[in-house]
Structure 1
Amino acid sequence: MKEVSVESVTSPQGQSRTKKFFILILVIGAAVIIITYDSHKEDLNLGGYHSLSSYHPEIQRKTQKGFLVYSPKCKIVDLDPFNPEAIQFHKVEDYVTCTNEELLTYVTKNDNVARLHINMSVLSSHSHKNVHCCYSNITRNLESQAPDDKIKISQCQDFTDSVIIHEQPVLVNCTNNKGFTYKNVHVAVSITKAIKDKIGRSKTKRPLSVLMIGIDSVSRLNFIRTLPSTYMYLESQGWIPLLGYNKMADNTFPNLMAILTGFDPDMSNQVCNPDTTSLGKLDTCPLIWHNYSKHGYVTAYVEDEADLSTFNYLKTGFKSPPTDYYFRPYILAAHKLGITRVDKVSYCTGPETSGERIMNLAKDFSVTFKDYPSLGFFWMNTFSHNELNSPTRMDRKVKAFLETLAKEGVADNSIIVLFSDHGIRYGKIRLYNTGWLEERLPFIYFSLPPRFKNDYPRLFNNFKTNVDRLTSPYDFYMTLQHILALGDKAFERKPSVGCPTCRSFFDEIPYNRSCEEAGISLHFCTCYGYSEIKLPKNVTLSAAQFVIDEIHHRIKSEKRCLRYKLSKVWRTAVSHSGLYSSNNESYLLVLIQTIPEAFFEATLTVTGDIAYGNFSLAGTISRTDFYNENGWCTKKLKSLCYCPKQWTKP
């Protein structure tokens, strides 16, 4: 990795007296990294991590060795998860418990009747005497101007031992006169009369259910590093990855909207207008779960971090519940129990981890409706969003959750997708080539029910073929339509607005496909690959200043944003070979550090000889450091803006 400071590119004087010492340090450091790298692979039993053929003998990858995707238009390199750049940042974190005691209350469900219990053995073991418990029902506050962010809590009703609860979440409060206090929130998935009627009206024949489980900000490589037990379980159980799955835009919202609507960012904002203060616009957005609902599917949606939820972060949220089972009131109530932050996210809500709450909901929903058509979308941020190694805490929990789904028979009639939206977008790893690649290549795995291979052999073969083809979230959208059409021939699949040529994962994806043809922005495209290049100092400075000028142009409407000066140029890299260039163009990747301190990454199109510095911006500009706190003074320009510290945050 090349680091250029403003001083070093403007001063020609060498540092020859320190060169030998510096080289010695580099050699020793490299040796330590290699030793650590090999030991990590051995400890995790991942020496042959990319052993897809050993678990899937029917899948014969045709890609050239060393590449995930290899075609004239796209070559995505196959980096080792434990490469020296990545391993220096790898660390296994301990699971954090949210309470030292067993939960005092729990829920059981028999014959569609849910019952809230007090765990009497916990009371006796901890000598809690004269404990008084009551429960309150939790509902959305429909009278509020922001019903997606407000809840109503009913009067607390006393109960002893156990009590029947219904579809609403319940808040439990237990106390005694000696200062003992226990609070928790519970919810059970009960089949209401309305849902029974909906299932009865369904005309879908032999429908395949869909269970989508998302873990935010996890690349394919970091999935292997931080969730090794889960990874090995998926591989051993025949889950199939899509190795060329490339994000299409920067953060969560556009990538999930591409999956759920087929829209590109401009169309998402135009049609769904999530940032508007006019409540209800999101309710008219053509999200794919509405299509499933119309065809008799039972739908569910929830995310674990209330403040970071896809449709609520800097957005208005929904006026009415968007799915049959919408668990946001449960999550909002859980946040009121008290939050324990780990890595700056709401890891614990009360006595339970936020991530495990989501997995429990996903399990309850999918088991309840395993014999009926359903679509569930369950998303987790709180053990993965902010830090590279955070997922290591939950590896065994995620694996156990997936094992339970299989044991309960959910996988027998459901297509289960475990996936992410993108890799980690912040932190020191982003200064390296592995960080650049990982940010753009999220992990994605499919579990196809046994009958799928027999009922749809051609589609199954197409899916296997697509393992090493370039794919995108728009293809995911087309796949969700395809699944719905399999159960109802009358359902008409429509092209994705954001990518009219994109296809279902069950249709053969073209071998020779470009990022443009897959709807992927050039700045986020991994097809071209980049090699570090030592440019003339004046060209390096010119490219860096061009990026800063582009930032200033974008933030000129926000007077509170500070203006930047160049501090360092961390990377300059050029796209591999001229095969991908046209009209005498090439692509230059630039990563800079500024004053005030911020890190920006941009892809520049270079026309003609790169030495002449004829630059234009290819797509957007990425911010690779945490910007939430220093971008507080603006909403739409948050990632580019650095707000003055002397101003008081409103």
Structure 2
Amino acid sequence: MNWKNEQPFALFLLICLSFWNMKNVQGGVRYFVKSPVCQMPYVNPFALDTIRNFQRKKIRICHVDSDMVTSKFDFATHQYRLHIHKHLAKPILKAKGNATLQCEYQEIKRDKTAKIPDNNYKILHSRPIKQHQFVPNNTDFMITSCYVKDAKNHRKLLQKDAITFIEDRISEDNVKDFIKTQSVDPKPSVLIMGLDSTSRINIRRTMPLVYKYVTQPGWFEMEGYNKVGDNTFPNLLAVLTGQSEEAVRKICDVKKPGCLDSLNFIWKRFKSANYTTAIAEDCQSISTFNYLKPGFVKQPTDYYLRPLLLAIEKMFKVTKEFGYPNCVGRHLNFSYIWDFGKQFINRFLGRAPIFGFLWSNSFTHDYFEGATALDSLFFKYLKSFEESNLFGQSIVILMSDHGYRFSSLRMAASGYYEERMPMMFIYLPPWFRSKYPHLAKNLQTNRNRLSSNYDVHMTLQHLLQLDSKSMDDFPDNLKAKQCMTCQSLLFELPFNRTCQMAGIKEKWCCCQPTETVTNSLSAKTIAKAIVERMNEHLISYNLTELCHDFKLKGVEKADRKTILYTGLKPVDKDEHVYIISFQTSPKNPLFEATVHWNKRTQKLLPINVEDLSRLNSYKNDANCINQKNAKKYCICKDSLSKTSED
């Protein structure tokens, strides 16, 4: 770290380290969760192995010029107007002599007729922009272009940009009914804000401004929140549908169009309750419902940003940073999402109940330090949402899908917990805390109890029936299908709660203390047995022509779990649970497996190779295969160079 240029952060770091020492050295060991059946240890965000080479990043400036064409909502007509800022072009026009400014637009629409509508868009023919013209209320997006036209009719592009419109299509009668009902029995609006791959530990390390913001009154951090799946899709699927990826496979094939449409996403229930709904997610190539999947055939929510994101990544100059498109045209990829969210809030808050899902991958997906560049900008968005009175009327969830899964941070001593404990902050507005003090009290109690994605799903269900007294008031069709014992976080969670009760598989469970046994004789034996199963898996799934077989190179780390009393201890006292990190050849992939090993029989209990974790990136290793789960363990033969072969 460049300490000379990072004095403010260095001071912040020293304060945090001092605070941690007071809490942990003087006051004994801290836990996120501590019960007879779950001991989830507190993790120091500023341990030396995580900050030794830590560097704060700077945000890229995408443009320095002013917007040539802007839109403004006309509250009298409930339509947008377009404005051309001609004065910005005067110096150029003057230099060109007898030149004129011409601005035009092309409307962007979702291509509903395409086989995979989520991967297609329509761009309509160009139309001239007239000063202060109204935008038709069926327009969602447009690309604007302004040109300088000289006396010889030659045109030079001056500026190209994108504009989104959240058209107000709610009748005034519905607005009046909503306002009247709100004064008697208010409905909370709901906004989910997500940053990919951000643990509750890393937000403290990388985003001090945002972290300080979400420690204000009304915010509740779920410190015992434990993920339920490997990557984004299974974790968000659990939050938004109450289903696991494995269970969905039995219903339909997510790789086929129409499958996702058939699932009971929570926004469907909010829509049935007369909420106005919206979804926006950046990095269209890796977005949650589209990475190696066709997405939605029917537009899932009232307002859906994806068609514009597809268009601008093809039509505008794209500059990559932190692994993904950063500047797309004149704006940050990130900003398209949150400007859209702000527009959505401003258009409907106070006129209708809203449900929004805003998700960003661009800064945080591949680089855990990327969040440092985002801190100030995201803080400004939170402040702007506050100015729009979002926090006066709404329940807001700031969350992630999982922590960082690869490379240096994952290999730190705290890496196991970094990956499995994503951030989860829930905000309750003042009126809600006043009207439902018992629910706020329960949420406070639950902060340090084991919770999961399925509980968040049930919390969202609960917000649509706040008169419920207990989980018994929820019919089975509204309960999380994968975890019927999971419950709303607004009801008190059991103190003695196990991972099984929260729908968390043993592989992801952070409740059991571990003992490091890397140098034991059994560690290498177990690792060899795992590699043997991996090779058998390649054969049984007919992947040997594409994927190279594995050879154990070495054991990086081996931990043995100390199973706390849960009533589910193995019948055989010689059976133990191990967490083994190991490296194989070729290309040195690093894997982690959670397995059951019987030390008496020297046998490995059945494992699912697809449940393996990959601890270093597989981006350049698995381009020969499009099976999402197989990518993490397939070393494509065509990716091998002579120097990588052993």
Q: Same fold (TM over 0.5)?
A: yes
In structure 2, do the counterparts of structure 1 residues 463 and 618 end up closer, same or farther at CA, with 3 Å as the change threshold?
A: farther
Offset of residue 178 of structure 1: 6.7
Question: Match of 2:118, SS?
Answer: coil
| 1:373 corresponds to 2:343 | no
Which of 117, 129, 134 matches 2:83?
A: 117
CA distance in 2, matches of 1:464, 1:83: 28
Deviations 1:297-345 (A, max 9, x none): 1111121111111111111111110111112112112212232111221
Offset of residue 551 of structure 1: 1.9
Q: Is the 8 A contact 1:469 1:511 kept in 2?
A: yes
Written as runs of structure 1 = structure 2, the 5 A alignment for 1:245-264 is 245-264=225-244
In structure 2, do the counterparts of structure 1 residues 544 and 414 end up closer, same or farther at CA, with 3 Å as the change threshold?
A: same
Counterpart for residue 592 of structure 1: 582
Which of 550, 560, 569 matches 1:564?
A: 550
More moved, 236-245 vs 258-267: 236-245
Offset of residue 236 of structure 1: 3.1
Q: Is the 8 A contact 1:108 1:115 kept in 2?
A: yes
Written as runs of structure 1 = structure 2, the 5 A alignment for 1:103-182 is 103-111=67-75, 112-124=78-90, 130-165=100-135, 166=137, 167-176=139-148, 177=154, 179-182=156-159
| TM-score, normalised by the number of residues in structure 2 | 0.87
Equivalent position amino acid for 2:81 in 1: R
More moved, 486-495 vs 636-645: 486-495
Counterpart for residue 456 of structure 1: 436
Question: Match of 1:645, SS?
Answer: helix
In structure 2, do the counterparts of structure 1 residues 152 and 454 end up closer, same or farther at CA, with 3 Å as the change threshold?
A: same
Counterpart for residue 20 of structure 1: none
Q: Is the 8 A contact 2:210 2:375 kept in 1?
A: yes
More moved, 189-198 vs 37-46: 37-46
| 1:484 corresponds to 2:448 | no
| 1:301 corresponds to 2:279 | yes
More moved, 180-189 vs 374-383: 180-189
Q: Is the 8 A contact 1:34 1:84 kept in 2?
A: no
Equivalent position amino acid for 1:446 in 2: I
Which of 547, 559, 563 matches 1:573?
A: 559
Aligned CA-pair RMSD:
3.1
In structure 2, do the counterparts of structure 1 residues 535 and 399 end up closer, same or farther at CA, with 3 Å as the change threshold?
A: same
Offset of residue 506 of structure 1: 0.1
In structure 2, do the counterparts of structure 1 residues 124 and 36 end up closer, same or farther at CA, with 3 Å as the change threshold?
A: closer
CA distance in 1, matches of 2:15, 2:218: 17
Unaligned runs of 5+ in 2: 149-153, 642-646
Offset of residue 530 of structure 1: 2.8
In structure 2, do the counterparts of structure 1 residues 342 and 35 end up closer, same or farther at CA, with 3 Å as the change threshold?
A: closer
CA distance in 2, matches of 1:438, 1:351: 34
Offset of residue 390 of structure 1: 0.7
Written as runs of structure 1 = structure 2, the 5 A alignment for 1:227-242 is 227-242=207-222
CA distance in 1, matches of 2:284, 2:129: 29
Tell me the percent identity. Answer: 29
CA distance in 2, matches of 1:34, 1:546: 47
In structure 2, do the counterparts of structure 1 residues 125 and 404 end up closer, same or farther at CA, with 3 Å as the change threshold?
A: farther
Written as runs of structure 1 = structure 2, the 5 A alignment for 1:428-577 is 428-486=408-466, 494-537=478-521, 539-556=522-539, 557=541, 558-559=543-544, 560-576=546-562
CA distance in 2, matches of 1:501, 1:455: 27
Which of 155, 159, 162 matches 1:185?
A: 162
More moved, 180-189 vs 445-454: 180-189
Question: Match of 1:518, SS?
Answer: coil
Counterpart for residue 340 of structure 2: 361
Offset of residue 130 of structure 1: 3.1
Deviations 1:200-251 (A, max 9, x none): 6998942111000111110111111111111112213542110011100101
Q: Is the 8 A contact 1:211 1:366 kept in 2?
A: no
Counterpart for residue 641 of structure 1: 634
Question: Match of 1:235, SS?
Answer: coil
Written as runs of structure 1 = structure 2, the 5 A alignment for 1:41-56 is 42-44=11-13, 46-47=15-16
Unaligned runs of 5+ in 1: 1-31, 55-62
Q: Is the 8 A contact 1:103 1:351 kept in 2?
A: no
Q: Is the 8 A contact 1:195 1:298 kept in 2?
A: no
More moved, 636-645 vs 209-218: 636-645
CA distance in 1, matches of 2:121, 2:279: 17
- Structure 1: 4+ residue segments shifted above 6 A: 32-39, 48-51, 125-129, 201-204, 487-491
CA distance in 2, matches of 1:488, 1:507: 10
Question: Match of 1:213, SS?
Answer: strand
Deviations 1:151-188 (A, max 9, x none): 11111111144432233201112223474442211112
Counterpart for residue 605 of structure 1: 596
CA distance in 2, matches of 1:469, 1:283: 34
Equivalent position amino acid for 1:393 in 2: A
CA distance in 1, matches of 2:593, 2:29: 29
Q: Is the 8 A contact 1:578 1:586 kept in 2?
A: no
Offset of residue 615 of structure 1: 2.7
In structure 2, do the counterparts of structure 1 residues 35 and 599 end up closer, same or farther at CA, with 3 Å as the change threshold?
A: farther
Counterpart for residue 343 of structure 1: 322
Question: Match of 1:519, SS?
Answer: coil
Q: Is the 8 A contact 2:624 2:638 kept in 1?
A: no
Q: Is the 8 A contact 2:462 2:468 kept in 1?
A: no
The number of residues matched between the two structures is: 602
In structure 2, do the counterparts of structure 1 residues 579 and 124 end up closer, same or farther at CA, with 3 Å as the change threshold?
A: farther
| 1:96 corresponds to 2:86 | no
Equivalent position amino acid for 1:116 in 2: L
Question: Match of 2:356, SS?
Answer: strand
Counterpart for residue 72 of structure 1: 36
Equivalent position amino acid for 2:30 in 1: G
CA distance in 1, matches of 2:585, 2:640: 18
CA distance in 1, matches of 2:461, 2:28: 32
In structure 2, do the counterparts of structure 1 residues 119 and 99 end up closer, same or farther at CA, with 3 Å as the change threshold?
A: same
CA distance in 2, matches of 1:272, 1:41: 51
